A and B are shown apart, each in its own frame.
Chain A
Amino acid sequence: MKKGQFFRSMPGIGLAAALLIALPFVAALGGQAWVRILDFAILYVFLALGLNIVVGLAGLLDLGYIAFYAVGAYTWALLASPHFGLHWPIWAILPLGAGLACFAGVLLGSPTLKLRGDYLAIVTLGFGEIVRIFLNNLNAPINVTNGPQGITLIDPVSFGAFKFSGATQILGVSLSGPQKYYFLLVALAILVIIINVRLQNSRVGRAWQAIREDEIAAKAIGINTRNLKLLAFAMGASFGGVAGGIFSAMQGFVSPESFSLIESIMILAMVVLGGMGHIPGVILGAVLLTVLPEVLRYGVGPLQMAVFGKMLVDPESLRMLIFGLALVLVMRFKPAGLWPSPERQRELQETGK
C-alpha cells in the first residue's frame, strides 16, 4: 500500500471517523475545558487552512489575516445580540459575514497587487491593525462596536429550535454545548479540507502555485495574475469570515483584544510550522500550536511544585517562554516545517542543505 493510501481505504476512513467521534467524549473526562480547547483546535485548523490558500498556495505573505476573522466575528456579534436588538438566523449571518470578509479581502488585495514579498507583509499587517483600531474606537460618537468592552450575550449557533449552547439529549446520549460545537466544527473543517484538496489540484490551484514559484513566468504563460491573486485573497478571507462568525457564537462574547497582530502571527506560525502548502502538515501545525500552550498551562505550575516544592517563576510567563523556545527549536531542526509536502522536502535536499 502506498504511503497515504491508508486513509483513502474504507477501514482507514472508518477508523479516522471513529477517532473523531470518540475524541470529545474522551476529552470530556478531563473536564469541559478540554472539549473547548478541542473546539478551538479545530477552529484554528479551519483558519490555518484558509490562510494556507493565501500563503501556502499563492505565496502571498499575509500578516493581517485576523482582520477577516474579526469582520466575520463582528458581523455575527452585531446581527445576533442584544447590542442592536437584532437576532438574525444563521442562514443570513454566516453568508453575510463571509461576504463582507471576502469584500475586505478584495479591498486589501487590490491596492497591494504590485507589492512583493515583505512589502506585502507589512501592508497586510498594517491593514490588520487598522481594523483592530477601528473596532476598538468605534464606540463614539455612534456606538457601533462598543469599543474595548466588546459585545456580550451573543446568540449561539442554532438551527430552528436546536441550540448549540447548553446540554441536550440526542439518541440517549447527553451532549454538552462544547461537544455539539465540536461536531459542527469538524463538519466545517472536513468541508474546508475537501475544498483545499480540490483547489490544490484544480486549474486555479496550479495557477496559484505557478504564481508562487515565479510570478513573471506565470504571467508569461498567460495566467491572469491580477485576478488570481485577488481570488486567493478573497477565498482566504471568506474562510476567515466564516470562522469568525462561529467563534463569536461559540464564545458569546467578542472584543477587539481577540484580533491583535499576535493572533495573525500565530495562525501564520501554524501554517509555516506544520509545513506550508501541505494540508496534513497545516492541520498538524494548527492542532499542535493550539493544544501545546494549554498543556503547558496545566502542566507548568504543578511541575514546578513537584520539582522545587514552590512556584519559582510565574507559570503564565514560563509557559509562553517555553512556547517561544519550541517555535525556535522546531524551525531550527525542521526548517521546512514538521510535515512538509514530499516535493518541498525534495527541493530542499536537492539544493544541498
Chain B
Amino acid sequence: MDIFLQQIINGLVQGSIYALVALGYTMVYGIMGLINFAHGEVVMIGTLVTITVAGSLIKAGMPVALAGLAGLMAAVLVCMALGWALERVAYRPLRNAPRLTPLITAIGMSIVLQNLAMMIWGRNYLTFPALLPKIDFEFAGANFTAIQIIIVLVSAATMGGLLLLVYRTKLGMAMRATAQNPAVASLMGVNINRVIAAAFVIGSALGAVAGVMVGAYYEIAHYQMGFMLGLKAFTAAVLGGIGNLAGAMLGGILLGIIEALGAGYIGDLTGGFLGSHYQDIFAFVVLIVVLMFKPSGLFGEKTGDRA
C-alpha cells in the first residue's frame, strides 16, 4: 500500500509538470490547429536559462531563494520572447499554407533551438543549483519532499491563473472566439494576429515555469531534455483531447500517475519479465488504447473531417 501511495505522489508531481507543458501545446492547437513541435525546446531553454542566471547570482552572493526567483523570472521572459519569435518567424508566414508545412518548419525550429542550446551550454549535463533546502515529509508510509509540494502547488496556481485569464478576461474571450472561428472573430473586431501571438507567449511562459520545475526536481539538465518531455506532454494533451484546457491538465496528471504506477508495478505484473525501463511505453500504450475507444481524447470534442 505504501508503494502505491508513493507512486501516486510521484506521479502527481510528474503529472503536474506534464500538464503545464501540455497546456502550451493545447493552447496553440486549440487556436491554430497546429502542433508546435518546438515547444519542448522552449521548456528546455527555460531550464538552462534558470541554471545560468540563478547559478551565477548564487555565486555572486545573493540569497538562494531570491536568486531562484530571479532565475524563474529570467526564464519566463526569455521563453516568452522565444515563443513570440517562433510564431513570427516560423508560423505566421505559413498560416494559409498546406497543413503539413508548418509541421516541418516547427521541426526545423526545434532542430535550430536544440543546436543553439548546445552551442551556448555545451553537450554535458548541467547541475541545477539547489534552490530549496531538502526537507522530507512522511505521510502514511510514503515520503515526499518540499520540492514536490511546491511543484504541485505552483502548477495548480499557474493553471488556475490560466483558467481565469481564458474565461474571465477580454483577451481570453478573444482567444475562445478565435478558436471557434477565426474569420468571424476577426469580423467582430478581434485582432487575430495578437491573439495567436498571445497564445504562443502564454504557452511559452507556462513552459518556462515547467522547465524550472523539471530542473529543480531532477537537479540536472541537458540540451536534449526537451524532446522526450515535449513528446510526453503532447501525448498528455492528446489524451485529454487536444485543444481543451481542462483536458490537458487532467491528461497530464493522469499520464504522470499511470507512468509512475506502471513503472512501480510492471515487474510484479509480468513476473519480472519486463522491468521499469519500459516506463516510457505506458504513455503511448495508454494513448493508443484510449484513442481506440475515444478517437478525440477523453474530453475532446469531435474533430472535423479534414485530415
> A273 CA to B98 CA in the complex, in Å?
12
B280 interface residue per 8 A CB criterion: yes
Interchain Cβ contacts within 8 Å, total number: 153
- What is the CA–CA distance of A314 and B124 in the complex, to the nearest angstrom? 14
Give per-residue flags for A109-148: 1 if the beta carbon is below 8 A from chain B beta carbons, else 0.
0011011111111110111011001101100110000000
Among the 9-residue stretches B43-51, B105-113, B173-181, B214-222, the one with 4 or more Cβ atoms under 8 Å from chain A is: B105-113
Contact A331 B111 (CB under 8 A): no
Q: Is the interface of A mostly helix, strand, loop or mixed?
A: helix
Contact of A133 with B96 in the complex, beta carbons under 8 Å: no
Q: What would be 5 A-B contacts, judged by CB atoms less than 8 Å apart?
A: A212-B307, A324-B108, A328-B105, A328-B109, A335-B98
Determine whether the beta carbon of B235 is less than 8 Å from that of A59.
Answer: no
Cβ of A106 within 8 Å of any chain B Cβ, yes or no, is no
With both beta carbons as reference points, the residue of chain B lying nearest to A276 in the complex is identified as B100
Selected from A212, A314, A328, the residue in CB contact (under 8 A) with B108 is: A328
Cβ 8 A contact of B104, one of A115, A120, A269, A344: A269
Q: Is the CB of A351 within 8 A of B96?
A: yes
Residues on B with beta carbons closer than 8 Å to the beta carbon of A114:
292, 295
Contacting pair A327 B284 (CB below 8 A)? no
Judge whether B235 and A122 touch: CB under 8 Å.
yes
Instruction: Identify A130's interface contact among B118, B284, B292, B304, CB under 8 A.
Output: B284
- B89 touching A318, Cβ below 8 Å: no
A100 to B295, CA, bound (A): 27
Whether B303 lies near A141 (C-beta < 8 A) is no
Known interface pairs A141-B273, A216-B305. Does A317 touch B96 (Cβ–Cβ under 8 Å)? no
Cβ–Cβ contact A61 & B100, under 8 A: yes
Q: Are A335 and B103 in contact (CB under 8 A)?
A: no
Partner of A325, one of B108, B275, B283, B288: B108
Given the known inter-chain contacts A328-B90, A331-B101, please indicate yes or no for A127 contacting B303, CB distance below 8 A.
no
Q: Is B66 an interface residue (CB 8 A)?
A: no
A331 touching B283, Cβ below 8 Å? no
Nearest chain B residue, comparing its CB with the CB of A55: B100
Q: Per a CB cutoff under 8 Å, which of A60, A115, A261, A332 touches B105?
A: A332
B135 CB within 8 Å of chain A? no
Nearest-CB distance from B109 to chain A (Å)? 6
Which residue in B93, B105, B234 is a CB contact (below 8 Å) of A327?
B105
Minimum CB distance partner of B33 in chain A: A118
**Residues B100 and A129 in contact, CB atoms below 8 Å apart:** no
Interface pair A123/B104, CB less than 8 Å apart: no
Partner of A332 from the list B35, B93, B231, B295 (CB cut-off 8 Å) is B93
Q: Is the CB of B231 within 8 A of A261?
A: yes
- Indicate whether B116 reaches chain A with its CB closer than 8 angstroms: yes
Tell me which of B35, B101, B234, B303 has the highest count of chain A C-beta atoms within 10 A of its own C-beta: B101
CA distance A130 to B285 in the complex (A): 8
User: Could you tell me if B238 and A137 are in contact, using CB atoms closer than 8 angstroms?
Assistant: no
Q: Are B100 and A320 in contact (CB under 8 A)?
A: no
Q: B112 to A123, Cβ gap below 8 A?
A: no
What B residues does A353 contact at CB under 8 A? 96-97
Are A121 and B35 touching (Cβ within 8 A)?
yes
On whether A348 and B98 interact (CB within 8 A), knowing A60-B307, A321-B111, the answer reads yes
Closest 3 CB pairs of A and B: A327-B108, A126-B284, A324-B111
Does the CB pair A272–B284 fall under 8 Å?
no
Q: Are A332 and B235 in contact (CB under 8 A)?
A: no
A273 touching B111, Cβ below 8 Å:
no
Kindly report which residue of chain B lies nearest to residue A63, judged by CB atoms: B103
Tell me if A265 is interfacial: C-beta within 8 Å of chain B: yes
The answer, yes or no, to whether B306 is at the interface (CB within 8 Å) is yes
Tell me the complex Cα distance, A122–B291, Å.
10
CA distance A119 to B306 in the complex (A): 12
Tell me the minimal C-beta distance from A266 to chain B in angstroms.
Answer: 9
Taken residue by residue from 299 to 341, chain A's Cβ proximity to chain B (1 for < 8 Å, 0 otherwise) reads as 0000000000000011001101101111110011001100000
A257 within 8 A of B: no
CB pair B231 A272 closer than 8 Å = no
CA A332 – CA B108 in complex, angstroms?
A: 11
B108-132 vs A, Cβ < 8 Å mask (1 yes, 0 no): 1111101110110000000000000
